[in-house]
Amino acid sequence: MEFSEKRQPLVVIVGAGFGGLRAAKRLAGGPVDVILVDQHNYHTFMPLLYQVARAALEPEEIAYPVRRVFRGERNINFRLARVEAVDLLRQRLLTSQGPITYDYLILAAGSATNFFGQADIQQHAYGLHDLKDAVALRNHLLTVFEQVTQETDPARRAALLTFVIVGGGPTGVELAGAYSELIQTVLAQEYPQLDFSQVRILLLEGGPALLAALPPDLREAALASLQAKGVEVRLRTAVASATADEVRLKDGTVIPTATLVWAAGVRAADLAATLGQATARGGRVRVRETLQLPTTPNVFVIGDIADLEEDGKALPQVAQVAMQQGTHAAANILHHLHGEPLVPFRYHDLGTMATIGRHAAVGQIGPWRLKGFIGWLMWLFIHIVQLIGVRNRLFVLINWLQDYLFYARSARLITTEDMQRLGEPNIREDSGEPIRAANEMAVQTGD
Amino acid sequence: MEFSEKRQPLVVIVGAGFGGLRAAKRLAGGPVDVILVDQHNYHTFMPLLYQVARAALEPEEIAYPVRRVFRGERNINFRLARVEAVDLLRQRLLTSQGPITYDYLILAAGSATNFFGQADIQQHAYGLHDLKDAVALRNHLLTVFEQVTQETDPARRAALLTFVIVGGGPTGVELAGAYSELIQTVLAQEYPQLDFSQVRILLLEGGPALLAALPPDLREAALASLQAKGVEVRLRTAVASATADEVRLKDGTVIPTATLVWAAGVRAADLAATLGQATARGGRVRVRETLQLPTTPNVFVIGDIADLEEDGKALPQVAQVAMQQGTHAAANILHHLHGEPLVPFRYHDLGTMATIGRHAAVGQIGPWRLKGFIGWLMWLFIHIVQLIGVRNRLFVLINWLQDYLFYARSARLITTEDMQRLGEPNIREDSGEPIRAANEMAVQTGD
């Protein structure tokens, strides 16, 4: 019912991230039918997830319905389903909604937070990998400040006001800068009774420097910028274990905290393991230069879930690689259909950027190295332009303009119903029923 | 820690709805300390909840953080807590965060959906009374259309495309009109394969007319407008029972449907029952003309949770009453403090309106009766002006302008993780493990 009557080759794309979306766009209007499968009905603009986590943007400002993207494209169909496994022999996917067969498959299922097998960290840390993570972290942050206003134990207050972020890549750096500003400016206005000098933001990085992908002078600019914002940066520092109340470092230091954010790495999505193929670091699937599975020419694997080396170095797990590979895999499928030779993939590095709060960023775009305010403007421009949809761009721009001019973000709703997080109900011996009876007594005996 | 050192009389306000917010605003800067308690950290602009339910507005566009409202007001404190009971004798509230004592209490805890004791309806129907309800209904609506694209059984497809809304008040009328437009325009574009002539929207009302609060000609205009949009309006029709798959009417008719929306009435919030006071229809607490509890002069009860008659008729449960009573109760507390006599409350009816979709509304504002496009412009103006916060007003206006001009709402994310709703995973005999083994076999035996 979902397909046109004349039978064209069917390309199934798993994942509506940067790679999957680009692949589908390349195939729109082409001589194939396409089914794009994702477990969400929207595309997430992941580079701005941390802005949702700091309550500066709303989920829908960085997400966009997939059906909207392909409205009017008659050969692109969307299917809301979770893909459980790939059955290479029978050329089909097993999904939460039943099997989907394919002629060609593009696997763009992305990545997940890598907790490196540490169950305690997985249990107590907040990841920052999808919209749900970001909303959970935002709700937690805002709830912590409500908790602090009601907490009388000084040690517990100190722990609530300590925020530990692990991972000195772009996500960790951006989040640390953003949290520092949010707390010292906006929240300080709204909680006038709190002593904000007690707030500590720690950024822990296992290696010798932040933002390892950037050249040394930009790394140092980032470090200096964070320190100027009051972030305590600790290099060569690794987490050993975590509980709900504290983080223990490998050197034995214990940091009491209610907030551990884990931005220390990603691994391939679970789907990779069902392929039964050779995998590389983080469970990523090794692919040919043409992006095909080595054993299966009609299956292409792209983006974070794929492992491809170039000049002896694995390609980074970034949006640019996924986007370029998406377009490339789609083009190679068309080559294959037309009996033409497939083309090896080459990555064109357009640069790397990271922002450190309200008006500072560092980046390298081709030959240019940017920092400070100019870097931030460039960062803003690139991200706004890439956001899908006129409405989203406009709203994000308004939000940021307002933010920049007034420090006034209004998007700070705690959207969880999870009142236990605030502490146990405190009505033990004074339960509702006796109170009601007592109140009724008062009514009967008069005022 | 949250209070200033010099001890002023403490006014505790329960509920950050229309009534509680107005009361706190009246007391801002006054000779009292105020604690405003709510289980959410935001105020919800309830008249636009149905716009969230139809995915035209986002939650944060109709909600506003309470701390933002009172930023800079040093005598107003906010407390995030759920109030479990009122202990009138000891002058304190029992809350999820421990007890809160008061000198004066303003109870503005609002209302809840009234299922009239029908557990089956409560279980299977969607209410539309808070942000959580609205988001749940939106997610359901969007998920239903994803389900239909994957459903092959014609009877089940028909049930999925049947939407039953119960209650012919403003909420039911507005939602029916909005759903009709959303489905026939926006969704029809995004699901080109679906036959939208199968869609049925039923609006059931137990009484003889829609919008009973309006004069007959406006009621009839509303009815005609809904019918023109393809909504099947059934008057003098009541629901007897409901399951997940169907609704049974009192006359025996069975309507297979996956969507039952219950907008048929409200009752007082549960907190009312803990007072042990005389209650009226819907569990509302009877109050004196001064808005005081009859037995307890320092406790004021306002808005939907209060019952007060004027000229022998109970005041309606609408925002205008709550807002006027909020200001009035606060003023009476100040009178009491100054030893002045309290003033009886009188309601100034500013009118009633309901919108029926994109550019039609009916209403009575003082002497004016409005309908059609002019009515809609007035409705829009009143609602935009009342929305709290410049940002929210601006965003809602942009959203509506875009909506009006392009029928292009982008806020259609399904934000639940609840994949079961789409049906059971369909991988029984084909579970992941055998597939992985088979795939590995394929690898070993080569291409």
Taking 60 as the threshold, does the pLDDT of residue A318 lie above it? yes
Task: For residue range A322-335, list pLDDT tens digits in order.
Answer: 999 999 999 999 99
Taking 70 as the threshold, does the pLDDT of residue A94 lie above it? yes
From A41-55, B81-95, B207-221, B405-419, the region with the lowest mean pLDDT: B405-419
- Considering only alpha carbons, which residue of chain A is nearest residue B80? A146
Taking 50 as the threshold, does the pLDDT of residue B32 lie above it? yes
Q: What percent of chain A has pLDDT over 70?
A: 84
| Contact in structure between B87 and B93 (CB atoms under 8 Å) | yes
Confidence of residue B79 (pLDDT cuts 50, 70, 90): very high
Average pLDDT over residues A153-158: 94
- B-chain residues near A193 (CB < 8 A): 1-2, 77
Å between B223 CA and nearest CA of chain A: 33
CA distance B315 to B322: 10
- Structure-model confidence comparison of residues A234 and B445, the more confident one: A234
The whole-number pLDDT of residue B447 equals 38
Burial of A249 (0-12, 13-18, 19+ CB in 10 A): middle
Q: Point out the residue among B392, B408, B415 whose CB comes nearest to the CB of A59.
A: B415
| Contact in structure between B143 and B414 (CB atoms under 8 Å) | yes
- Considering only alpha carbons, which residue of chain B is nearest residue A412? B65
Average pLDDT over residues A173-201: 88
Task: For residue range A343-369, list pLDDT tens digits in order.
Answer: 999 998 877 777 776 667 777 777 777
Task: For residue range B303-352, list pLDDT tens digits in order.
Answer: 999 999 999 999 988 888 999 999 999 999 999 999 999 999 999 887 77
Confidence of residue A112 (pLDDT cuts 50, 70, 90): very high
Report how far apart, in Å, the C-alpha atoms of A18 and of each of A46, A163, A172, A317 are: 9, 31, 21, 11
The whole-number pLDDT of residue B428 equals 35
Å between A419 CA and nearest CA of chain B: 8
The whole-number pLDDT of residue B3 equals 42
pTM of the predicted structure, to 2 decimals: 0.80
The β-bridge partners of A286 are A307
CB atoms B414 and A42 under 8 Å? yes
CB atoms B96 and A274 under 8 Å? no
**Helices (DSSP H) in B229-350: which residue ranges?**
319-337
CB atoms A274 and B436 under 8 Å? yes
CB atoms A439 and B132 under 8 Å? no
CB atoms A277 and B436 under 8 Å? no
Q: Point out the residue among A64, A395, A432 whose CB comes nearest to the CB of B274.
A: A432
CB atoms B150 and A79 under 8 Å? yes
> In B253-262, which positions are buried (b, 16+ CB within 10 angstroms) versus exposed (e)?
eebebbbbbb
CA distance B54 to B165: 13
Paired tokens of A38: 């994702």
- B-chain residues near A146 (CB < 8 A): 41, 80
Task: For residue range A202-256, list pLDDT tens digits in order.
Answer: 999 999 999 888 888 888 988 999 999 999 999 999 999 999 999 999 999 999 9
Q: Please choose, from the candidates A298, A309, A301, the residue with its C-alpha nearest in 3D space to the C-alpha of residue A285.
A: A301
Taking 70 as the threshold, does the pLDDT of residue B404 lie above it? no
What's the whole-number average pLDDT of chain A?
85
- A-chain residues near B417 (CB < 8 A): 132
| Residue from B4, B34, B73, B87 whose CB has the most chain A CBs within 10 Å, to mutate | B87
Of the spans A71-75, B212-216, B381-385, which averages the highest pLDDT? A71-75
Confidence of residue A2 (pLDDT cuts 50, 70, 90): very low
- Structure-model confidence comparison of residues B320 and A306, the more confident one: A306
Q: Point out the residue among B2, B189, B413 whose CB comes nearest to the CB of A193.
A: B2
SS percent in chain A: helix, strand, coil, step 5? 40, 25, 40
The whole-number pLDDT of residue B206 equals 95
Å between A30 CA and nearest CA of chain B: 18
Task: For residue range A374-409, list pLDDT tens digits in order.
Answer: 777 777 777 777 776 656 666 666 666 655 555 544
Q: Return the residue matching tokens 């000098």.
A: A197
Taking 60 as the threshold, does the pLDDT of residue A433 lie above it? no
Provide ipTM, 2 decimals. Answer: 0.72
| Residue from A412, A421, A428, A441 whose CB has the most chain B CBs within 10 Å, to mutate | A412
C-alpha angle B290/B293/B297, rounded to 5°?
75
CB atoms B295 and A412 under 8 Å? no
| Residue from A1, A36, A431 whose CB has the most chain B CBs within 10 Å, to mutate | A1
Q: How many CB pairs under 8 A join A and B?
A: 256
CA distance B338 to A440: 30
Q: What percent of chain B has pLDDT over 90?
A: 54
Q: Which residues of B participate in catalysis according to the annotation?
A: 174
- A-chain residues near B1 (CB < 8 A): 149, 152, 193
| Cα radius of gyration (chain A) | 25
Annotated catalytic residue within A61, A174, A181, A205 = A174
Paired tokens of B269: 């919030």
What's the whole-number average pLDDT of chain B?
85
Task: For residue range B235-248, list pLDDT tens digits in order.
Answer: 999 999 999 999 99
CB atoms B97 and A432 under 8 Å? no
CB atoms B389 and A410 under 8 Å? yes
Q: Please choose, from the candidates A43, A39, A33, A44, the residue with its C-alpha nearest in 3D space to the C-alpha of residue A14.
A: A39
Taking 50 as the threshold, does the pLDDT of residue B130 lie above it? yes
Paired tokens of B180: 């009709």
Please tell me the number of Cα atoms within 13 Å of B105 on its side-chain side. 25
The whole-number pLDDT of residue A268 equals 95
Q: Point out the residue among B80, B277, B395 whose CB comes nearest to the CB of A422.
A: B80
Confidence of residue A441 (pLDDT cuts 50, 70, 90): low
Beta strands in B74-208 (DSSP E): 76-80, 83-87, 92-95, 98-101, 104-107, 111-113, 162-166, 200-204
User: What backbone torsions phi and psi does residue B128 show, to the nearest 5 degrees?
Assistant: -150, 65
| Residue from B4, B58, B413 whose CB has the most chain A CBs within 10 Å, to mutate | B413
Taking 60 as the threshold, does the pLDDT of residue B432 lie above it? no
- Considering only alpha carbons, which residue of chain B is nearest residue A71? B190
CA distance B407 to B189: 10
- A-chain residues near B398 (CB < 8 A): 394-395
Å between B175 CA and nearest CA of chain A: 22
CA distance B169 to B265: 9
Q: Please choose, from the candidates A156, A260, A419, A54, the residue with its C-alpha nearest in 3D space to the C-alpha of residue B1.
A: A156
- A-chain residues near B60 (CB < 8 A): 58, 410-411, 413
Q: What is the 3-state secondary structure (H, E, C) of B390-445?
A: HHHHHHHHHHHHHHHHHCCCCCCCCCCCCHHHHCCCCCCCCCHHHHHHHHHHHHHC
Average pLDDT over residues B141-147: 90
